[in-house]
């Protein structure tokens, strides 16, 4: 059997790729378990400084594999969702920024996964569909958490309850993605972004991720206290010392992630 999810490295950039193009990267049990394994490998690798999540073929992914889910819905759903939820949690706490590279159809659980990534770049032909209630079910992979935080409650209600298909231009306007480029430019644009992030102060990027992700759940007092702690922690790093020296001497910094 062809490997369902692969992990490749290019310097400090890790590429996690779904490889079920014949099924538009639908999520079945084997794929979910493979994705979790790849995320665990990235989590253990201190050399990873940016992550790209992508799908082989014409689409990023169409969500759960309904062919497999129809056999024993409750049991199969649990066997797909539990490893995917663990994987989403791992990606959220990584110091490395996580970029979703999107093309084709992005629907259901695959859309929720894209929303869970830190950044998202889409080709101009990408289409988005939340799709869950079309299948008579509710969201997973953090979709109900991410969607209203990205687009606001009223728009989230519309997307989730009507399952309206959104094109790339609309997705950019809504805040579902950060950037839209042509299909020909997508791979190069994402690689440049990932390499730029991988060359940055990794620990500071990771702490910034956590500050932003927790901001909606914390009051101002707690956020101020956390900001103080994380700033002081960052000031202990070699990257901080390098950045200060570079700024004072008017040169470009050379970050190591340390």
List the beta bridge partners of residue 95: none
Domain that holds residue 222: 202-248
* Nearest CA-CA partner of 122 in 168, 87, 58: 168
- The enclosing domain of 24 has a CATH number of 3.90.226.10
* Same domain membership, residue 192 and residue 209: no
What SS3 state is found at 100? Answer: strand
Cβ atoms < 10 Å from Cβ of 35 = 25
HSE at residue 72, side-chain half, CA atoms within 13 A, is 6
Residues 55 and 181 in one domain: yes
Q: Are residues 214 and 181 in the same domain?
A: no
Q: Are the C-beta atoms of 177 and 168 separated by less than 8 Å?
A: yes
Query: Do residues 132 and 53 both lie within one domain?
Result: yes
Residue 97 is predicted with a pLDDT of: 98
Same domain, yes or no, for 20 and 39?
yes
**Are 217 and 183 contained in the same domain?**
no
- pLDDT, tens digit only, all 258 positions of the chain: 469 999 999 999 999 999 999 999 999 999 999 999 999 999 999 999 999 999 999 999 999 999 999 888 899 999 999 999 999 999 999 999 999 999 999 999 999 999 999 999 999 999 999 999 999 999 999 999 999 999 999 999 999 999 999 999 999 999 999 999 999 999 999 999 999 999 999 999 999 999 999 998 889 999 999 999 999 999 999 999 999 999 999 999 999 988
CA distances, 119 to each of 116, 164, 202 (Å):
9, 22, 15
Q: Across-strand partners of 7?
A: 16
CATH number of the domain encompassing residue 222: 1.10.12
Is 27 within 8 Å of 80 (Cβ atoms)?
yes
| 12 within some domain | yes
Contact indicator for 182, 197 with CB cutoff of 8 Å: no
**pTM of the shown model:** 0.95
What secondary structure letter does DSSP report for 27? B
Decide if 212 is inside a domain.
Answer: yes
Are 214 and 180 found together in one domain? no
Let me know whether 241 and 124 are in one domain.
no
Three-class SS of 61-93: ECCECHHHHCCCHHHHHHHHHHHHHHHHHHHHH
The answer to whether the CB of 82 falls within 8 A of the CB of 39 is no
Cα 7 vs. chain centroid, distance in angstroms?
15
The answer to whether position 257 is within a domain reads: no
Q: Among the three residues 181, 198, 215, which one is the final residue of a domain in this structure?
A: 198
In this predicted structure, what is the pLDDT of residue 1? 47
Q: Are 212 and 232 a contacting pair, CB within 8 Å? A: no
**Domain total for the chain?**
2
Give the number of other CB atoms < 10 A from CB of residue 61.
29
* pLDDT for 98: 98
Q: What is the pLDDT of residue 2?
A: 63
Three-state secondary structure readout of 158-175: HHHHHCCCEEHHHHHHHC
Same domain, 220 and 152: no
């Amino acid at each position: 059997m062809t490997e369902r999810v692969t992990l490749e490295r290019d310097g400090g950039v890790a590429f996690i790729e779904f490889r079920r193009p014949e099924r538009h990267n639908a999520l079945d049990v084997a794929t979910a378990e493979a994705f979790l394994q790849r995320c665990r490998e990235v989590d253990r690798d201190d050399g990873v400084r940016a992550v790209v999540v992508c799908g082989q073929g014409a689409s990023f992914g169409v969500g759960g594999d309904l062919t497999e889910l129809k056999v024993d819905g409750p049991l199969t759903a649990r066997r797909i969702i539990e490893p995917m939820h663990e994987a989403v949690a791992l990606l959220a706490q990584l110091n490395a920024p996580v970029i979703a590279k999107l093309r084709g159809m992005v629907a259901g659980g695959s859309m929720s996964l894209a929303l869970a990534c830190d950044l998202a770049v889409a080709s101009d032909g990408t289409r988005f569909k939340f799709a869950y209630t079309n299948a008579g079910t509710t969201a997973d992979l953090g979709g109900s958490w991410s969607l209203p935080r990205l687009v606001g409650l009223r728009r989230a209600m519309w997307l989730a309850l009507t399952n309206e298909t959104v094109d790339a231009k609309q997705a950019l306007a809504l805040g579902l993605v950060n950037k839209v480029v042509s299909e020909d430019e997508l791979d190069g644009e994402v690689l440049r972004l990932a390499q730029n992030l991988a060359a940055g102060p990794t620990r500071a990027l990771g702490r910034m991720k956590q500050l932003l992700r927790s901001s909606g759940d914390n009051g101002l007092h707690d956020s101020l206290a956390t900001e103080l702690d994380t700033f002081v922690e960052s000031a202990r790093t070699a990257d901080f010392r390098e950045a200060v020296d570079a700024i004072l001497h008017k040169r470009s910094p050379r970050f190591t992630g340390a």
